[in-house]
Amino acid sequence: MSSPDHRPVRHVVPEHEKRCVWMTAGILSYRICARDYDCSKCLLDQALSMRCGPSVEGGMDPLPPLHFLHRGHAWLHISDDGEGVVGLDDFAQRLIGHVSWMDLPEPGDRLEQGKPAFRISHGSTETDVLAPATGRVTAVNESLRQNPAIVNRSPYDAGWVLRMTPENLAVDVPRLLFGRTVEAWVCDETRTLETEIARGFGLPEDDMDSVRINDGGEIPAEFLTGLPSEERDRIVNIFFARRPSGASPDPMGAQS
């Protein structure tokens, strides 16, 4: 096993690798920036941000500063001593709904970036959440075993899931989303979700744009309220690696 990388995060992402946040988010395939990545002066950035309307701006808890986000909706925060803290983002907990049970790894287990780190049970479905980084688990939030719904109430604070010692941040961090890139990506995820909700209600293609998670009011605590269970499961499966409840357990990718 390689030794943990304790270099400050700001030194892990090279300056010459800066690029448009909408490229990093996967929304644009290529773009040259003539404004030194100052998004406040970019008309394209303003137009793409307006594409989200109030869905992103109007109520979801933003990712806290100095937190990275995996495209599987798990966040990673690196403390000053190099320890990583992992949890679930607000978009994901609203998508999943009430969390009734969690299967957590054990201290000493090894996680791999992009492979299952922990499992959440909601309704009749279980969902695997992917690890945002590779490393050894040093602790888990024991409170979640007795009261997993803490994740719903406080996804970025009391609802943290595990602590870990990252092995190679120089490799893992450039694959994560950060800062304005998170906002751009969640914008696109929100529009995808709105389309899938419309499809779940059986709306015709011409009416797909009529569904908005937030039309100026309060964002719902659960995005998929009112949908049939099979449609809820289908939509969750788009954003996560889903596993039916009652299926045979697996090691969740953890290695001794």
Per-residue model confidence (pLDDT) at position 60? 74
pLDDT tens digits for 14-44? 444 565 655 555 545 545 565 565 665 565 5
Per-residue model confidence (pLDDT) at position 211? 65
- Which residue ranges in the chain fall short of pLDDT 50? 1-16, 27, 30, 47, 50, 53-58, 215-217, 242-256
Per-residue model confidence (pLDDT) at position 134? 97
Q: Which positions ≥6 away from 171 have C-beta within 8 Å?
A: 134
Residue 12: φ, ψ to 5°: -85, -40
Per-residue model confidence (pLDDT) at position 21? 54
For residue 40, give Cα distances in angstroms to 36, 43, 47. Answer: 11, 8, 12
Side chain identity, residue 204 = P
**Antiparallel, parallel or unpaired: β 241-244 and 125-130:** antiparallel
Domain formed by 1-256, architecture: Beta Barrel (2.40)
Per-residue model confidence (pLDDT) at position 73? 94
Per-residue model confidence (pLDDT) at position 183? 82
Per-residue model confidence (pLDDT) at position 244? 35
